[in-house]
Structures are given as C-alpha cells and as structure tokens.
Amino acid sequence: MGALTVKRILYVAAFGAFFVILGGYFGWYGFEYITMRKIHKDLSLDNDTKGFTNWKNLPVLIKFSMYLFNVTNPEEIQLGGKPILQETGPYVFEIQKSRTNISWWPDGTIQYYDKSIYRYAQDTDVQNSLDEEITLLNVGLLGAAILVERIFPFGLSLVNEAIPLLFPNSTDMFIRATVREILFDGVMIQCNYTSGSAMPICNGLKAKAPPTIIRDEVTKHYSFAMLRHKNNTLSGPYRVNTGSKNVSELGKIVEVKNKMYIPFWDKNTTCSEIKGTDSTIFPPLTEPKNDIYIYVPDVCISMSASFVNKSYLDSKITAYHYESSKNNFASVEEWPENKCKCSKLEDSHKEPFCYKRGAFEAFDCQGSPIVFSPPHFLDADPSYLNYVEGLKPDREKHLTYVSIEPLTGVPISGRKRIQMNMFLKKIKGITLLTNVTEGLFPIGWAEEGADLHSGGITELAKLYYLLETFKVIRWILIILGVILMVIALLLYLKMKHLLCFHNNQVTAEFEYGVNQWRAKEGEPQKLSTFNTDKVSGVEDAPQTISTIYPPLGNKGDVPTSITSTTVPR
C-alpha cells in the first residue's frame, strides 16, 4: 500500500461527493425524468406510437347497460294519479369503439370520426331479455306535442287530430313494446299518408326529426328507437390534441363538428365551451385537486368531475378518484353559471325556464325536449323524486366516477351514468294530456364504463416497480457516497496525527493505525509497544516503549506526561 497523502484522501472524498450528487440528481430528477419522457412520448397520438394504437382501436370493450322504467299504472296517470314505476334491466351490451378517417394537423392536433358497434352481451351474469314487453312513456308523441306548443301553438289541434293516425290503437300517453323495439328495432309512427291531418306532421318529421326517429323509405313510416342511431355509425368529426408538444394537453378536445364551441348553447357561456377529453383518454395529472372535464356527446356539453381521494391498486399503483361535480346539475341559485342550461322559450319576452337542482334540458342537442338528470334523481331536488314511486337513489349504483393513474393518465376504472326524462304536462288542445299528472317523468337511464384490463395493470405495475428500483439505486449511491466521504475525513484526521481526549480517554494516531487507552487515575500504566520494523523495514531496529500518565487533579483530559524509551532488541 502506498503512502497516505492528502491527494489520495481528496480522491476518496471526491468519489464520495460524486456518488452523492449522482444519487441525488438521477434519483430525484434524472432517472424519473428520462423514464417519464419516454412514457409521455409513447402516450402521444403521433403515428406509430403505442398510445395511438390503443387510442385508434380501444383494447377494452366498453360495457353499456340500459335500464328502463316500466309504467305499472298508466290508466291512473291519465286521470291524475301518481306514477308508479318499476325499473327493468339491465340490458347489457358491449361497445367496440374505434376511430377512423384520421388526419394529423400541423398544430399538433388530430382529427377523426368516432365509430361504435353495439353487441348484445350473451355471457353476462346480469342480463335481461330484449323480448320482454314493457310500458313506457310515449316519447315521440309527448315530444311532438311539446315542440308544436313551443313553436306553433296554433297547430296543436292538428296534432290532436293526427294522434290516432300516427299511433293507431293508442288510448293514452304510453306505448307497449318490447325492449328490442324500444332500443333498436323501432316503435312505428305511421306516416304513409298523402292527405289528412297526419300528413303535415309527417312532413315536419321529415324536416326536423331527431336522430332517434328514422324514416323507412319503403313503407314511408317513421320509427322511434333510443339507441339505433348510435350503433355502427360515425359521429364527428372531432379534433383533439395529440400531446406531442405538451403532454398536459393530451386528448383534450379542440373542435366538435368543425366548431371550437358547442353551437347548441348560447355562445361565450360555460355551456358552449369545449373542455376536457372524451373519457377514454386523459393527460397525466400533476395536481389532483383540479377538476377534470369530460365532453358528453349525448348531452352536447362538457361536464366536470371533482377529486375525492387517492387510493392504491394492488398496494402499488396510485389512483386519483374523481366523482361527478355537484355543479353539473346545480340550480341557477346554487351555481349562476348554469343559467345557460335554462330552456329558451320562443317568446323572447319571457324568462327562460330553469329546472331545479338535478336536471336540465338539452333540446337543441337532442332535437327533442329530453331532460337529463343523475339516475334515480340522485342528489336532485326532492320534488322530482316525490313525483313518482319506485325510484331509490344509491350513490354506489348511480354516481358517475372515474379513477385515473396520475403518471400516465390511464383510466383504471370509470362509470358514466345519466338518466333520460321528459316533462309530462297538460297541454291545452291535446286530449290525451288533459288530466295527466304533471312532473318530470323518468324514461330510463344508461351506464357506460370499463375497467383497465389485466395487461394494462401489469404494464403499470412494471412502471411502478421501475420507479421504486430507481429510488433504491438513488439511496445506495447516496449512502455509498456518504461512507466514502466519512472514510476520507477519518483518513485525513489520522494522517494529521490529531488526538482527541474525553473523560480520561486518550486517542493516539500513528501512521499505520489508531490505538486507544484508558488510564487509571494516579497510577502509571504501560500501554503499548510498537515495533519499528513496520515503519522502517529494519529487522534489528530497537523497540519503542511509550508510557502515558493520566491527568492529575482537575487538569482536564490532558495527560500528565507521555514518555518514550528506546531499547535494543
């Protein structure tokens, strides 16, 4: 071993400092930064990235469950009785969602059309037959009556005359049909007339039919179906941010149908503002307490979700849990910004009609006076729930939520739940509506959601394992660096022959070692013998005997004397 020098000690100290800096830099910044930069690049919607591949054709099937409210006392309701409803379902479908007609824009956005294919889920444990017959509010008839009352009240008498022709054998405001007909096959509206009171109504449908009403070009009849227009059809175009320039903008919708605002609401209001993503993709979340936004095409509005808590999946993967914000369905008194959701009347001199907490109408979006609310009027004004019997709000079953892994923005689990209603009201001139019980009448509610597949969870677990490994490496480097720096300090003290005394304890430093003695007060003690062979390399060198005398009285820790005697061998 070479001689101990300051230069060598500095080398040891420098290596220690290097490891401390290396561990600190790469542990808190470098390792994670490099890893997350690679992940963010893969998440972007640039061509050939993993994120784009999964976004183009979702690797999971979205579960869609439909519940309908069977009316058990239609005759009583016609005479003013309280509606009694029975929830039927779920009728479960699987949605295969994909994006098509894709094009990239120079500003870092991507345009596409959505395509959804509904398939009846045969293997689910909770499935009801699509062929069971139920009694449902006649949405087509009530919608037509409300529409005519709003835009052309003088035509109500014509509608009243046309009802028996449009809905043969109809004696009340309800239809009897199978679930299959109500959802997909269609409930017929007879319109093959060339004259009479029904003809202008049918011509009006041809010009302004909502997407739920479709004409058969062969029979000339129309039919109403709740989901048919959504199955195997394209919607859009949408334009969203690819996240290639700024990952915090990943998936955020920029345009809907070539517009940067939603035209169905008053411009420059919170209702017309496009915010958030479509819920199948989210950017990484840096601040959990900020609300996230989801654009809901069925309602033509962006809805917010508020942070609730942080949880862990398999004790490793972090998940931020968000639930539908109370502001989404707040009354105007509770949240003035919701005034844009009030129903506009044809008479501009009248104030818009605003629903109470828990409901709002999306007439222009749907083309019919559909009123949306949380399922079973969860958290809504009590008057809505008191209007009917048979509804039982349950947060576990009826609340909209999403859980997101924050580092990647990957949705771990989510359920989007919303209820469709119509306001059943007495309309002067319509015989079937003369005595009905007025109120917000539930039609049905839908749940759409998915859970991250096992492969996705495994990928997230690998990411967390990698990041934990980096933390371990970080501390190994830091501890190793500290140890080297401490060793360097001790070597320096040894080289300088520094002594330290404490409570009669004497530390003596020699070139090749450090020895300690404790002396008894008042008694000299021979402490050690050193062979100069190890110093000089001379075998015949004499021995050196050192005797240390302890301190006397209160003289501190300084020894009374140290004597050395050299003797021949």
Residues 322 and 407 in one domain: yes
Strand, coil or helix: 520: coil
pLDDT at 28: 66
Residues 141 and 118 in one domain: yes
Residues 419 and 288 in one domain: yes
Residues 424 and 461 in one domain: no
Residues 482 and 552 in one domain: no
pLDDT at 385: 96
Stated as kind and residue range, the H or E segment containing 61 is: none
544 within 8 A of 529, measured Cβ to Cβ? yes
Residue 72: count of CB within 10 angstroms of its CB: 15
CA distances (Å), origin 82, targets 85, 131, 173, 217: 10, 28, 14, 40
Strand, coil or helix: 235: strand
Give me the residues of the chain with pLDDT under 50, please: 499, 501, 504-523, 525-538, 548-549, 552-553, 555-556, 558, 560-562, 564, 566
CA distance linking residue 86 with residue 70, whole number of Å: 5
256 within 8 A of 233, measured Cβ to Cβ? no
Residues 441 and 362 in one domain: yes
* One-letter amino acid for residue 122 of the chain: Q
Length of the chain measured in residues: 569
Q: Quote helix, strand, coil % in the chain, to nearest 5.
A: 30, 30, 35
Q: What is the pTM of this model?
A: 0.80
Q: Domain of 42? A: 1-59+453-496
* One-letter amino acid for residue 496 of the chain: K
CA distance linking residue 45 with residue 440, whole number of Å: 43
Strand, coil or helix: 473: helix
R_g of the chain, CA atoms, integer Å? 40
Residues 164 and 212 in one domain: yes
Residue with tokens 């869609």: 64
Q: What is the pLDDT of residues 369-388, one digit of tens each?
A: 999 999 999 999 999 999 99
Tell which residue, 132, 121, 124, has the closest CA to residue 70.
132
CA distance linking residue 166 with residue 148, whole number of Å: 15
Residues 95 and 243 in one domain: yes
Residues 51 and 69 in one domain: no
Q: What is the pLDDT of residues 166-184, one digit of tens each?
A: 888 888 999 999 999 999 9
Residue at which a domain ends, from 423, 452, 481: 452
187-189 vs 213-215, strand pairing mode: unpaired
* One-letter amino acid for residue 307 of the chain: F
User: How many folded domains does the chain comprise?
Assistant: 3
For residue 468, give both structure tokens. Answer: 């934990």
Residues 293 and 418 in one domain: yes
pLDDT at 100: 95
Q: For 426, which DSSP code?
A: -
Residues 330 and 403 in one domain: yes
CA distances (Å), origin 378, targets 239, 247, 271, 299, 414: 33, 35, 22, 18, 18
pLDDT at 300: 94
Residues 422 and 316 in one domain: yes
pLDDT at 238: 97
pLDDT at 205: 80
pLDDT at 485: 79
